[in-house]
Every structure is written in C-alpha cells, then in structure tokens.
Structure 1
Amino acid sequence: MIDSDTQPGWVADVDEEDVADDMPLSTRLSIADTLTLGNAICGFMAVYFTTTGVLIPHLTGHDDGGMARHSAAMAVILMLLASIFDLFDGLVARKLRASAMGAELDNLSDLISFGLAPAYFVVTWGMVAPDSHQRVSVVAAVVVLLAVVLRLARFSCVTLRDGIFQGMPSPFGALTVVAIVLLELPFVPTLLAIIGVAWLMVSRVEYPKPRGRLAVAMLSWIVLSMGMLAAWALDAPGGQTLLQTGCALQIVLGAMIPVFATARRVNTFRDNRREARSAQVQQIQ
C-alpha cells in the first residue's frame, strides 16, 4: 500500500548493480564488443568522407583536388583503423570474456567496414575517374559486396582447423581493393584486379590467421600504410611515390599469398602421393 504523502511521480530506488544482474547475458557488451562497434563506426565514417569530400564536390562542380585527396585518404585511413579494431577484438575476446553477441556484431561490423565501404569507394571511383565507366564500376562494386557477404556467411557456417581462414580475409581484401583503385591504373586492368580480389575472398585458398608475429607484422604494416596515406594527403615531398609504393606492395602481398598457398598444397599432394607409392611398393615386396 502506497503512503498518501508519497508524490505521484515517485519511483522506488533501484540499485544499478541489481539491474545489471537482471540483464540477460546476451544483451551485455564486453570490451571486445566495444572494439567491434568501433570497427563499424570507422566503416560508416569512411563512407561519409567518401561522399562529402569526393563524390558531392564532383557532382556539384566544386571538385578541389586537395580536398578530394584529403577525404579519400581519410576514408582509407578509417578502413585501416577498422582493420585494427577487427584485429584486436578477437584477441581481446580470447583473453577476456566474450559476449553472446560477439560473433554477430563482428560479422555485421565487418560487412560495413570491409564490404560496404570499399564497394562504395569503387562506385565513387567509377563516377569520378575520367576514363571509367559508371555502370560497369557499379557491377564491380556489387561483386565486391557480395563476395564479402558470402565470405562472412561461410565463415559463420564452416568449421576449419585452428589458425586458418578459407578465402582472403575481408579486411585484407577490402584494403587490396582500395589499393587497386588508388594506384590509378587504366580502367580495364583495375576492374579485372578488383574482380580477382573478390574471387579470392570466396575461394578455398587458405590464409593464416593473424596471431603472434604475424599479427605484429600486420599491425606494423597498417600503421605504415596510415603514414603513407597521411604523406599523400598532405602533399608531402614524395607522398605520391609513397602511396603508389604502398598500394603496389599491398597488391603484391594479395597475389603472393595464394601463390604460396597453392604451391604448398601441390607439394603436400606430391608428398602424400609419393608416400602412398612407397607404401604400395613395400606391401608388394
């Protein structure tokens, strides 16, 4: 029974800790989830800078080369920052508590940062570049987006041995697509290279997961790439050369890994076949 002196808007004091304890585990965010949300924010902001700094000025006739360069660099830097968040959220989740939403949040954030953002970057390139074809570039962007969607869906459904990805990881694929665009090759080679990266993302080529020294090497490469983009955006001496060198190295890395993976698979097949023949010879003898 409520006391008559009690105010109509009175609400009983509730301990915040009790409320937190009553929350279902599936709705609590962990530290790793916070990093994952940072990934999603970076992807969205990459689309924002691509739109406001590159696409809209081009459509309105106020295309300033310096502004477009700054905005494009900022968009790519944000994608690189998203890849750092993606790298660390898994490490943090393994070290600390991971929420029940972690895997879903990771896939949704990756779709924004490494699916939508690079695909939108390709569309913008198709509208801004002088020798490109807008409709064809839209098709290439859709191919990239669908490749990331399929890549993430397969990752959720297929169980592989520990330490291995099947298909090019979406962060690496997204950054390779952006590097191809920034390299400013002729339209047809650029288009073919983008489609090739999309194919690698849905292929069965095995890629190592970034752990230990490989994770440190990847983080170092990402930070170095940010520096090269900043030098290009600020029009520093040699900035254009640094950008082209970084983009070329990114593409070379993207091409070398499947070559080495295929060579390793062929060598493994040959070794197994040789062992099988040796076993047959021993049985005959």
Structure 2
Amino acid sequence: MGFEVTRRLSVADAVTLVNAVVGFAAGAVAFADLHLAARLLLVAVIVDALDGIVARTSDSSEVGPLLDSITDVVSFGVTPSLFVYVLLTDAVGGAGSVGVLALTGTLLVASLYAVLSVVRTAFYSTYVDGADERPGMPNALGAIVLATAYLAGVQTPFVVAGGMTVLAVAQIAPFDYPKPGVKAVGPMGVVLFGSVVAPRALGRVAPRIMLVVALLFFALGPRYYWPD
C-alpha cells in the first residue's frame, strides 16, 4: 500500500511543496547571485501566502500542517541563514587569523537564525493549540526583513549581522504576533510583488516601503496591530 502520496496530498500541499522548491533555489542561488536570491526569497513568501489561501478554499490534508512547518524551516529558516552567511563572508573575506575569526562569527550568526527557527517550529507544533496564540516572530517576517533590506541597499556587514541576531532571538520571544488582516494582505502583496519584479525601480521604492512596513510590524505588531 505504501505512503499513497498522490492520494493523501492535497492541492494546498502541492503549493506548499512549490514553496520548498523556491526556497531551496534561493539558498542555492545565493552563492552566485545574492540579488536574485533575495528576490526568490520574497517569491517564497508570496507562495506561502497563496498556500494559506488555497488551504482555506479547498480540502486540506492531515499532513498539510506538518508539511507547511517543515517547508517554513527550509524557506524561511535555512535559506535566510545561507543568504546572510554568503553576504557576510563576501564582505569579511577569509585571509589570516582575523579572517578566520570573522568567518567563525559569521557562521555562528547565520546558524543561530536557522537553529532558533527549528526550535520555534518544534515548540509551536508541540505546545501551541489555539489559533489566536502565535508566540515568537514568524520566520517568514524575518525573511521579508532580510531580503527587502538587501534589495533596499542595506548591506553593511555589522548592520546585517546585528539585525540577523535580533531577528533570530525574536523567533522565540515571549510575545504573540498577530496574523495580518485581510485588508492589509492585499496592499502588502502588491508591494512585495513590486519588490520582486522591479526592485531597483524609482530609487528602490518597493523594497524600501516593504522594509519599513515589515520593521513596523516587527516592532509594534504584538502590541498595537489587531487584524480585522
């Protein structure tokens, strides 16, 4: 009888797996083209949103929530870590003892985000029951901040490393993040799409707007944002 994969997977699961493919592609491309990798990372965010829409409008499978969690770790946990690792190693180089120390620090900073993304996902799956309880920063939000910051021109190593560390720890922070309301999803989706297709247009306006929105949600969302 086997796993009966084709029978047990739903349309929403197929979209989830597309997210995994895009997320993996972004991580692989990062070693050759960080700009393209950042755009692919945002494509993964868009596909993740479509996954939720499809799941609400069609039949979902029993394995769907687990697939979604695993895919989030790949696309929004491991891939952002690889992205930042490549960005920082390109900046610090690797010559001499100072270079070795810098590369070690870079590896620690980058891996911290991936590790805490795994921890958050595991704890969320095990201990969180209610739909209204969403502790810790969603790793997709961290991916948006990192990708749009790069596309907006924020590439200073110390700024990126510091921001990555803050975002990593925020994933296990003891406060709840609300899910964006329906009225916010549409405009945010338009700006996110603009950041993918025309990131340099009009002085990088799309990624810069998206970065500001993401940072405001990161800083103020748990206390002041209440979806409709």
Which bin holds the TM-score, normalised by the shorter protein?
A: 0.7 to 0.9
Whether 1:109 aligns to 2:71 is yes
**2:11–2:54: 8 Å Cα contact kept in structure 1?**
yes
Q: Of residues 5, 17, 28 in structure 2, which corresponds to 1:48?
A: 28
Superposition TM-score, scaled by structure 2 size: 0.81
Q: Which runs of 5+ in 2 are unaligned?
A: 94-98
User: Using the alignment, how far apart are the partners of 1:82 and 1:102 within structure 2?
Assistant: 17
**1:120-131 mapped onto 2 (5 Å cutoff):** 120-130=82-92
Give every structure 1 segment of 4 or more consecutive aligned residues whose post-TM-superposition deviation is greater than 6 Å: none
Shift of 1:91: 2.6
User: Using the alignment, how far apart are the partners of 2:203 and 2:34 within structure 1?
Assistant: 18
**2:85–2:106: 8 Å Cα contact kept in structure 1?**
yes
User: Using the alignment, how far apart are the partners of 2:45 and 2:177 within structure 1?
Assistant: 16
Whether 1:251 aligns to 2:215 is yes
Q: Secondary structure at the match of 1:165?
A: coil
Larger RCO (CA under 8 A, 6+ residues apart)? 2
Cα deviation code 1:56-105 (max 9, x no counterpart): xxxxxxxxxxxxxxx32321222112112211222322322111221121
User: Using the alignment, how far apart are the partners of 1:25 and 1:190 within structure 2?
Assistant: 41
Could you tell me which amino acid in structure 1 is paired with residue 174 of structure 2? R
- Fraction of identical pairs, as percent: 26
Change (3 A) 1:124 1:162: same
Q: Which runs of 5+ in 1 are unaligned?
A: 1-18, 54-70, 265-285
Shift of 1:244: 4.9
Could you tell me which amino acid in structure 2 is paired with residue 75 of structure 1? A
User: Using the alignment, how far apart are the partners of 1:179 and 1:135 within structure 2?
Assistant: 26
User: Using the alignment, how far apart are the partners of 1:145 and 1:159 within structure 2?
Assistant: 20
Aligned to 1:159: 128
Q: Secondary structure at the match of 2:134?
A: strand
**2:38–2:148: 8 Å Cα contact kept in structure 1?**
no
Whether 1:238 aligns to 2:218 is no
Aligned to 1:73: 35
Say which one has the larger Rg: 1
Aligned to 2:106: 137
**1:26–1:99: 8 Å Cα contact kept in structure 2?**
no
User: Using the alignment, how far apart are the partners of 1:253 and 1:210 within structure 2?
Assistant: 9
Change (3 A) 1:161 1:121: same
Change (3 A) 1:92 1:228: same
Cα deviation code 1:30-66 (max 9, x no counterpart): 1000100010000111012112x2xxxxxxxxxxxxx
User: Using the alignment, how far apart are the partners of 1:25 and 1:76 within structure 2?
Assistant: 32
**1:80–1:222: 8 Å Cα contact kept in structure 2?**
yes
Could you tell me which amino acid in structure 2 is paired with residue 173 of structure 1? G
Cα deviation code 1:189-242 (max 9, x no counterpart): 33222111111111122111234223324322321322442xx3xxx5634x66
Q: Secondary structure at the match of 1:208?
A: coil
**1:228–1:246: 8 Å Cα contact kept in structure 2?**
no
Over the residues paired in the alignment, what is the CA RMSD in angstroms? 2.9
May I ask how many residue pairs the two structures share in their alignment?
Answer: 218
Change (3 A) 1:29 1:198: same
Aligned to 1:223: 193
Aligned to 1:177: 146
Q: Secondary structure at the match of 2:180?
A: coil
**2:192–2:210: 8 Å Cα contact kept in structure 1?**
no
Change (3 A) 1:134 1:258: farther
Whether 1:92 aligns to 2:54 is yes
User: Using the alignment, how far apart are the partners of 1:122 and 1:225 within structure 2?
Assistant: 19
Cα deviation code 1:147-167 (max 9, x no counterpart): 211121122122354344211
**1:140–1:195: 8 Å Cα contact kept in structure 2?**
yes
Aligned to 1:202: 172
